[in-house]
Structure 1
Amino acid sequence: MTVTIYDVAREAGVSMATVSRVVNNNPNVKPQTRKKVFEAIERLGYRPNAVARGLASKKTTTVGVVIPDISNMNLAEIARGIEDIATMYHYNIILCNADKKKDKEIRVINTLLEKQVDGLLFMGGTVTDEHIQAFKTSSVPIVLCATTDDNNTIPAVDIDHQQAAYDAVKLLVDSGHRKIGMISGTLQDPSLGFARYQGYKQALEESAIPFNENYVRVGNYKYESGIEAMKYFLALEDRPTAVFAATDEMAIGAIHAIQDAGLKVPEDISVISVDNSRMASMVRPQLTTVAQPMYDIGAVSMRLLTKLMNKETTDQTKYVLPHTVIERQTVGQV
């Protein structure tokens, strides 16, 4: 049978109120009494009822996290940052994978809110009007993590994706490349895919390089789409001398397609991307990429959420973290 607070009180020879004070770390308990209660808890294997405590305090010390793709290594690193800060501030995490499906994301958001979480982190997905509507029904704080909404109305932590893409393409331009292709993410994703596409176009325009529609292929952020896009570029009569991929995974697909065609990176074609996932240093040659501070994005998001949950004063509710160009071996001079 389930051990109750009444059983602990009887075992320790104290009142239920005293057991409650011990469990909730109330300082107004004598050390000897506290010791007796803890010994009774250990003997009986008592576990406080989190649901009951949540009803009494109107807090569950639980945070819901919606993640679009749990297999994505970048998002896993962000989740580590979230978890570490949550642990520091004594919050538990409920992590829900949404498979990059909007309907599932909305359903998960509503389910977490029904579970009476104290706050919600929405990680790395496209924020649509349907998401905004679901967020409006929330009575608890919500922070966007590695994404933003179009109107910047919801607290958010991310990098400047357009600037990151611009910096990547500018490195190619500064290396002498004029024929630069792009393997883009979905352009229906304003905060990531479209933003990086805009950064690509901005770098070309400022370098007086004409935009060529044949040099842009839309992928799905995955390795296989990088292979397919690169095969398309290789088949062009006037193929690019360099390719900017919107993610490391697509860039690695592009590198392998180049190598499978009997060509070399960067001697024949240069490749650069954004992310700096672990795979970037595992592939050969090692991938030149723009590093997102994945762990920091998660940590800062969770810290911001703790402030909002505890109604602390915050200087700002939108944080744009710095990115860094990591030069390795896949960009060559022309």
Structure 2
Amino acid sequence: MTVTIYDVAREAGVSMATVSRVVNNNPNVKPQTRKKVFEAIERLGYRPNAVARGLASKKTTTVGVVIPDISNSIFSEVARGIEDIANMYHYNIILCNADKRKEKEIRVVNTLLEKQVDGLLFMGGTVTDEHLQAFQSATVPIVLCGTTDEKQTMPSVDIDHEKAAYDAVKMLIDNGHREIGMISGTLQDLSNGYSRYAGYKKALEQAGIPLREEYVRIGNYRYESGMEVMRYFLELPNRPTAIFSATDEMAIGAIHAIQDQGLRVPDDISIISVDNIRMASMVRPQLTTVAQPMYDIGAVSMRLLTKLMNKETVDMTRVVLPHELIRRKSVAAKA
């Protein structure tokens, strides 16, 4: 039979209220009494009912996390940052994969809210009006993690994606490259897609380099699309001498497509990208990239959410973290 709080109280010789105070870490319990209650809990194998505690306190100490693609290694580092801070503040995490599909993202958000989470972290791409409607119907705080909404009305933690892309392309330009292709994400994706394209375009404009339509192709952020787009670039009569990829995974696909044709990176074509996933330092040549502080994005997002959940004073609800250019072996000066 299930052991109840009544059984623990009887075993320890105290009231049910005293057991409740011990279980909920209330300091107003004598050490000797606390010890007796813990010993009774251990003997009986009692586990507090989280649902009942949540109904009583109107808090579940759980946070919902919507992750766009659980197979993408970049999000595992964000999730680790979230989990570490959640543990520090005694919150449990419910992690849900949304497969980068808007309908599933919205369904998962609504499901988490129905489960009475105390707050929600949304890692995704494009934040649409439908997303915002779901967020605005919530009675708990929501923080965007690694993305922002177009009007920047939601609390968020991210980097300046346009500046990150600009810095990457400027490095190529500073190395003498003028024929620079881009493997972009979808331009409907405000952060990883459109903002990084805007940074690419701005760097070209400031250097007086015309934007060539045939030098911009859309990928889906994954390795295979990087290979496919790179094969297209290699078939152009005047192929690019350098490539800026919106993500490391697509950049690695591009490197392998170049090598499959018997060409070399960076001797024949230079490659640079954004993210700094673990594989960026494992591929050969090692990938020059702009690092997102993925762990920090997760940790800072979770800390911001704890402040909002606990109604603490928050000076800034839109946090922009710094990025860093990591120089490795995939970029060389144009001969």
TM-score range, shorter chain: over 0.9
- Greater Cα offset, 76-85 or 26-35: 26-35
Partner of 2:293: 293
1:306 counterpart letter in structure 2 = T
Q: Match of 2:150, SS?
A: coil
Partner of 1:96: 96
Report matched runs for 1:207-218 at 5 Å: 207-218=207-218
Partner of 2:170: 170
Task: State the Cα distance separating 1:30 from its structure 2 match.
Answer: 2.0
1:242 counterpart letter in structure 2 = A
- Greater Cα offset, 61-70 or 5-14: 5-14
The answer to whether the 8 Å contact 1:149/1:191 transfers is no
Alpha-carbon distance between aligned partners in 2 of 1:123 and 1:103, rounded to the nearest angstrom: 15
Report matched runs for 1:184-223 at 5 Å: 184-223=184-223
The answer to whether the 8 Å contact 1:75/1:124 transfers is no
Task: State the Cα distance separating 1:55 from its structure 2 match.
Answer: 0.9
Structure 1 segments unaligned to the other structure (5+ residues): none
Task: State the Cα distance separating 1:71 from its structure 2 match.
Answer: 1.1
Task: State the Cα distance separating 1:10 from its structure 2 match.
Answer: 1.3
Structure 1 residue 242 corresponds to structure 2 residue 237:
no
Task: State the Cα distance separating 1:124 from its structure 2 match.
Answer: 2.9
Alignment deviations for residues 186-215 of structure 1 (CA, whole Å, 9 cap, x no partner): 111122201101111110010000111111
Partner of 1:161: 161
Percent identity, aligned pairs only, is 81
Partner of 2:51: 51
Partner of 1:143: 143
Alpha-carbon distance between aligned partners in 1 of 2:157 and 2:29, rounded to the nearest angstrom: 42
Partner of 2:33: 33
Alpha-carbon distance between aligned partners in 1 of 2:105 and 2:10, rounded to the nearest angstrom: 46
Q: Match of 1:244, SS?
A: strand
Structure 1 residue 87 corresponds to structure 2 residue 59:
no
Structure 1 residue 183 corresponds to structure 2 residue 187:
no
1:30 counterpart letter in structure 2 = K
Structure 2 segments unaligned to the other structure (5+ residues): none
Q: Match of 2:255, SS?
A: helix
Q: Match of 2:38, SS?
A: helix
2:261 counterpart letter in structure 1 = A
Task: State the Cα distance separating 1:238 from its structure 2 match.
Answer: 0.4
What is the alpha-carbon root mean square deviation over aligned residues?
A: 0.7
The answer to whether the 8 Å contact 2:100/2:124 transfers is no
Task: State the Cα distance separating 1:35 from its structure 2 match.
Answer: 1.3
Give the TM-score of the pair, scaled to structure 1. 0.99
Alignment deviations for residues 141-199 of structure 1 (CA, whole Å, 9 cap, x no partner): 00000000000000000001011001000000000001000000011112220110111
Number of residue pairs matched? 334
Q: Match of 1:228, SS?
A: helix
The answer to whether the 8 Å contact 2:226/2:251 transfers is yes
Report matched runs for 1:281-320 at 5 Å: 281-320=281-320
The answer to whether the 8 Å contact 2:184/2:246 transfers is yes
Q: Match of 1:3, SS?
A: coil
2:263 counterpart letter in structure 1 = L
Partner of 2:105: 105
Alpha-carbon distance between aligned partners in 1 of 2:249 and 2:28, rounded to the nearest angstrom: 56
Partner of 2:22: 22
Partner of 1:273: 273
Alignment deviations for residues 98-154 of structure 1 (CA, whole Å, 9 cap, x no partner): 111111111110111111111000013210110000001100000000000000000
Alpha-carbon distance between aligned partners in 2 of 1:125 and 1:47, rounded to the nearest angstrom: 39
Q: Match of 1:2, SS?
A: coil
2:271 counterpart letter in structure 1 = V
Task: State the Cα distance separating 1:310 from its structure 2 match.
Answer: 0.6
Q: Where does structure 1 differ by over 4 angstroms across 4 or more consecutive aligned residues?
A: none
Structure 1 residue 225 corresponds to structure 2 residue 225:
yes
1:55 counterpart letter in structure 2 = L
Task: State the Cα distance separating 1:34 from its structure 2 match.
Answer: 1.4
Alpha-carbon distance between aligned partners in 1 of 2:28 and 2:242, rounded to the nearest angstrom: 69
2:131 counterpart letter in structure 1 = H
Partner of 1:330: 330
